[in-house]
Chain A
């Protein structure tokens, strides 16, 4: 067997190397792309991991520490664990930008300076650079990955505006290294308005028991306190990783499909070329089973070689990416074992398909096999010969268009899938901002002292005090934030969409949001009843309460330009947060940046493949049909007419291929959605955008093909070509 392989390798090194190269390319691409997805999951998990070092018991307060809550908590701690292992903290959250894919918030703990070493010891962290913070300042030390991700150096002033709890300016004085992402600063870091509480320490093994005990105690006392520890951290991790694994799975699936199609075509050509060889081997006594084993071993050797090469190349690219892309953006690479195993799908499926292909040929008798090796026509010949599609028969019957046909189908499928994913992601963020299309929410620190200028209040149709509820919506990859205005029953009439008598404690939602909540994809809700309101569209909702704390104002207006004026005014007046149209535009840009990048890479890569295949196919077709061209020329067809014939054939092959790819994928996508993506919000697919992309690229491939064909059709005497 090995001797035979060696002979085969010596005889056809080009084809084998191309096969190995394509497997390696597929494996490495699949590995790199899925590792990028996983790096977001890994980075988020590092943030959640801090909850495995200690338990955070926290409550929200507008005016510093709440003594009554503190006392109740201290009593619980004393009662159960003894006070020695508890320290008081205040907590600010800083936003962490995961290369535009999504934001994640990590905690900065305000502690006494004397607690620094304890905190570092518990979290297995250490100060890698800079100094420690001084008491009574705004100095903080944060994880080095955050410094990289946010491009904030030591001694630089960092301002995080969009996170409500972390108002103000911080001076970053030191960087923390370790397995968790968090920050430390002096007591008072949340500046009197934010989160306060305690950190509870315990031996690693007891932390879970302590967390569970604390939950039941705190629940019994009915304190509005939240607890974060290893149990909740594990839940968060599982939830977040699930969506990233789905991303890895889908990416691998689509990338793999492209390469499996290419590899199977390579195999198909190779098997067809070697039919005579198989026939001769069969004639001298090799059984079909033996021949199948031969091909299996060949595919296995080639596939394994390609897989190993691909893994090595993928790892090399990853380590290059780590230096150039991951580390500079504060992303952790994580473990790529699962992505590596997923890449086995490419060689495995190819080997299985090649067995099916060879099986088809070996079913013929010996004479049939020998004769079939003389056949010049391809696989699709019989399919289209007497079928009901006479207009499709013509180009597909001639040799050579099949690879282009299959590839344009794959290309259209990829554009549709990634276009749909991207537009669904963009659409979800856009849908979540429906309510704010002609509304602005301004967060105010002191409502009584805050007065709107006349030019704004006059132009607004309504101004009412409101709060803003932030909800996490689970998406296919990660999550996005949804903003729900909370208004009082008294003021709610001002909001014309709610009708006459809104009921306090009711969450009024659009149909889309209702389904989403019903599916359990939304977290952080607090209401007693829910009602679907036809006035609300997309992903919109309003919560009506008896009384609200009124942290801000909700302004409605008809003139969209007012949003800019409100934003300017709020910024000048030093208001913390404004939510309006622009917020969602920025979110779309930020949260779809990564997906856009990945889909562009894949789409353009496949486009490049289609272009090359287009040129190669047309060249092959013209060369293979030189005598046909001459016959046509002898019979009176001019070069222009023959050029037109090739144009027509290409138009048919490309347009039917593109349409097939698009329709097939749309149907499969709908089936896939209903089977696997239940409970995830997927916005409507933007069809025109996808169709435009497919059409544009099909036309480019067509033009390149036609130019190639025109250049190839010789000006020589037709009879000289035919005589040759």
Chain B
């Protein structure tokens, strides 16, 4: 599904060049459950952003289902993100003046036929009572569950999660991870989750470690 060849991300300033991600080769198959961990500033989020078209690599090729992502126009990238990708971030990034319901439906172009899907997801995530509220009226755990619902509403093929549990307590954190995993296993979607803690991704089938911009395979759980 994803094929990265010699991908690197280098921040250049006048005085020096800083490699956030060093030359990386990586393949991720469809339906895989990939956990990426590493200390802060190691380049794990950069890897996720490059794969999800949110950042341009400084060099190298990023292919998604055979298509070269760096060659796409900004509009084509946006279209790809809308149709195929779902996102959950450390901060929930909900839009403050939209209700929970409106926030969840945001990735959908055609919102009319989405009622059933919305009901399924909000029931699964326990959000039915909160649909008319605004983000500033929610707790952190509730906000993150809304962000998960928003990521899953369009039925994405790939779910990118960047430190989704960092601002949550343990109970809420594991609940969010479980929700993401269960969606991916049911729908056959690929899950790419980034965390600074190995504990979070400990039971993922495939685990990658990023350190100083280098990506290492840690091992595959049976």
Asked if residues B95 and A636 are in contact (CB atoms below 8 Å), the reply is no
Asked if residues B93 and A636 are in contact (CB atoms below 8 Å), the reply is no
Interface centre among A376, A634, A636, A638 (most CB of B within 10 A): A636
Q: Tell whether A631 is near chain B: CB-to-CB under 8 Å.
A: yes
Q: Which of B67-101 contact A (CB under 8 A)?
A: 74-75, 78-83, 85, 87, 93-98
Asked if residues A719 and B49 are in contact (CB atoms below 8 Å), the reply is yes
- Contact mask for chain B residues 143-171; partner A; CB cutoff 8 A; 1 contact, 0 none: 00000001000000000000000000000
Asked if residues B79 and A399 are in contact (CB atoms below 8 Å), the reply is no
- Contact mask for chain A residues 239-258; partner B; CB cutoff 8 A; 1 contact, 0 none: 00000000000000000000
Interface centre among A398, A628, A718, A719 (most CB of B within 10 A): A719
- CA–CA, A636 and B155, complex, Å: 13
Given the interface pairs A717-B54, A719-B55, the reply to whether A633 lies near B97 with Cβ below 8 Å is: no
Residues of chain A with a CB closer than 8 A to B79's CB: 636, 638
- Contact mask for chain B residues 49-65; partner A; CB cutoff 8 A; 1 contact, 0 none: 10000111000000000
Residues of chain B with a CB closer than 8 A to A636's CB: 78-83, 85, 107
Q: Contact size class for B?
A: 20 to 34
Q: Tell whether B106 is near chain A: CB-to-CB under 8 Å.
A: yes
Residues of chain A with a CB closer than 8 A to B55's CB: 717, 719-720
Asked if residues A635 and B106 are in contact (CB atoms below 8 Å), the reply is yes
Residues of chain A with a CB closer than 8 A to B107's CB: 635-636
Q: Which of A705-724 contact B (CB under 8 A)?
A: 715, 717-720, 722
- Contact mask for chain A residues 478-511; partner B; CB cutoff 8 A; 1 contact, 0 none: 0000000000000000000000000000000000
Asked if residues A637 and B54 are in contact (CB atoms below 8 Å), the reply is no
Asked if residues B74 and A719 are in contact (CB atoms below 8 Å), the reply is no
Asked if residues B93 and A715 are in contact (CB atoms below 8 Å), the reply is no
Asked if residues A635 and B150 are in contact (CB atoms below 8 Å), the reply is yes
Q: Tell whether A112 is near chain B: CB-to-CB under 8 Å.
A: no
Asked if residues B87 and A634 are in contact (CB atoms below 8 Å), the reply is yes
Q: Tell whether A632 is near chain B: CB-to-CB under 8 Å.
A: yes
Q: Which of A42-95 contact B (CB under 8 A)?
A: none
Q: Which of A625-678 contact B (CB under 8 A)?
A: 627-628, 631-641
Residues of chain B with a CB closer than 8 A to A639's CB: 74-75
Asked if residues A722 and B93 are in contact (CB atoms below 8 Å), the reply is yes
Residues of chain B with a CB closer than 8 A to A719's CB: 49, 54-55
Given the interface pairs A377-B96, A722-B93, the reply to whether A638 lies near B87 with Cβ below 8 Å is: no
Interface centre among B78, B82, B95 (most CB of A within 10 A): B78
Q: Tell whether A234 is near chain B: CB-to-CB under 8 Å.
A: no
Q: Contact size class for A?
A: 20 to 34
Taking the closest CB of chain B, its distance from the CB of A392, in whole angstroms, is: 13
* B48 closest partner in A (C-beta): A719
Residues of chain A with a CB closer than 8 A to B74's CB: 638-639, 715
* A397 closest partner in B (C-beta): B97
Asked if residues A631 and B78 are in contact (CB atoms below 8 Å), the reply is no
Residues of chain A with a CB closer than 8 A to B56's CB: 717
- CA–CA, A553 and B94, complex, Å: 82
Residues of chain B with a CB closer than 8 A to A399's CB: 97
Residues of chain B with a CB closer than 8 A to A377's CB: 96-97, 136
Q: Which of B54, B75, B97, B150 is within 8 Å of A718, CB to CB?
A: B54
Residues of chain A with a CB closer than 8 A to B95's CB: 628, 631-632
Asked if residues A640 and B75 are in contact (CB atoms below 8 Å), the reply is yes
* A629 closest partner in B (C-beta): B95
* B78 closest partner in A (C-beta): A638
Residues of chain B with a CB closer than 8 A to A635's CB: 81-82, 87, 106-107, 150
Taking the closest CB of chain A, its distance from the CB of B25, in whole angstroms, is: 23
Taking the closest CB of chain B, its distance from the CB of A649, in whole angstroms, is: 11
Q: Which of B32-49 contact A (CB under 8 A)?
A: 49
* B46 closest partner in A (C-beta): A719
* A377 closest partner in B (C-beta): B97
Taking the closest CB of chain A, its distance from the CB of B82, in whole angstroms, is: 2
* B153 closest partner in A (C-beta): A635
* A375 closest partner in B (C-beta): B136
Q: Which of B80, B82, B93 is within 8 Å of A631, CB to CB?
A: B93
Taking the closest CB of chain B, its distance from the CB of A407, in whole angstroms, is: 21
Residues of chain B with a CB closer than 8 A to A634's CB: 54, 81, 87, 93
- CA–CA, A636 and B107, complex, Å: 6
- CA–CA, A715 and B94, complex, Å: 21
Residues of chain B with a CB closer than 8 A to A628's CB: 95-96
- CA–CA, A720 and B11, complex, Å: 13
* A627 closest partner in B (C-beta): B93
- CA–CA, A240 and B98, complex, Å: 58
- Contact mask for chain A residues 378-413; partner B; CB cutoff 8 A; 1 contact, 0 none: 000100001000000000011100000000000000
Interface centre among A627, A631, A641, A715 (most CB of B within 10 A): A631
Asked if residues A376 and B96 are in contact (CB atoms below 8 Å), the reply is yes
- CA–CA, A635 and B80, complex, Å: 10
- CA–CA, A637 and B94, complex, Å: 15
Q: Which of B49, B75, B94, B97 is within 8 Å of A638, CB to CB?
A: B75
Asked if residues A637 and B78 are in contact (CB atoms below 8 Å), the reply is yes
* A718 closest partner in B (C-beta): B54
- CA–CA, A35 and B159, complex, Å: 71
- CA–CA, A397 and B56, complex, Å: 34
- CA–CA, A719 and B54, complex, Å: 6
- CA–CA, A635 and B151, complex, Å: 8
- CA–CA, A651 and B187, complex, Å: 41
Residues of chain A with a CB closer than 8 A to B49's CB: 719
- CA–CA, A641 and B81, complex, Å: 14
- CA–CA, A640 and B74, complex, Å: 11
* B160 closest partner in A (C-beta): A634
Residues of chain A with a CB closer than 8 A to B98's CB: 397
- CA–CA, A690 and B81, complex, Å: 47
- CA–CA, A386 and B83, complex, Å: 32
Taking the closest CB of chain B, its distance from the CB of A642, in whole angstroms, is: 9
Residues of chain A with a CB closer than 8 A to B75's CB: 638-640
Residues of chain A with a CB closer than 8 A to B94's CB: 631
Residues of chain B with a CB closer than 8 A to A715's CB: 74
Taking the closest CB of chain A, its distance from the CB of B81, in whole angstroms, is: 4
Taking the closest CB of chain A, its distance from the CB of B95, in whole angstroms, is: 5
Asked if residues B78 and A633 are in contact (CB atoms below 8 Å), the reply is yes
- CA–CA, A631 and B91, complex, Å: 11
- CA–CA, A502 and B193, complex, Å: 100
- CA–CA, A639 and B77, complex, Å: 11
- CA–CA, A722 and B90, complex, Å: 12
Residues of chain B with a CB closer than 8 A to A631's CB: 93-95, 106
- CA–CA, A628 and B150, complex, Å: 14
- Name B's A-contacting residues (CB within 8 A): 49, 54-56, 74-75, 78-83, 85, 87, 93-98, 106-107, 132, 136, 150
- Name A's B-contacting residues (CB within 8 A): 375-377, 381, 386, 397-399, 627-628, 631-641, 715, 717-720, 722
Q: List 29 A-B contacts (CB under 8 A).
A: A375-B136, A376-B96, A376-B136, A377-B96, A397-B97, A398-B97, A399-B97, A627-B93, A631-B94, A631-B95, A632-B106, A634-B87, A634-B93, A635-B106, A635-B107, A635-B150, A636-B80, A636-B82, A637-B78, A638-B74, A639-B75, A640-B75, A641-B78, A717-B54, A717-B55, A718-B54, A719-B49, A719-B54, A719-B55
What 10 pairs between A and B have smallest CB-CB spacing? A636-B82, A719-B54, A397-B97, A638-B75, A638-B78, A636-B81, A398-B97, A635-B107, A631-B93, A628-B95
Other CB < 8 Å A-B pairs besides A635-B107, A636-B107, 18 of them? A376-B136, A377-B96, A377-B136, A398-B97, A628-B96, A631-B94, A633-B78, A634-B54, A636-B78, A636-B83, A637-B78, A638-B74, A638-B75, A638-B78, A639-B75, A717-B54, A718-B54, A719-B55
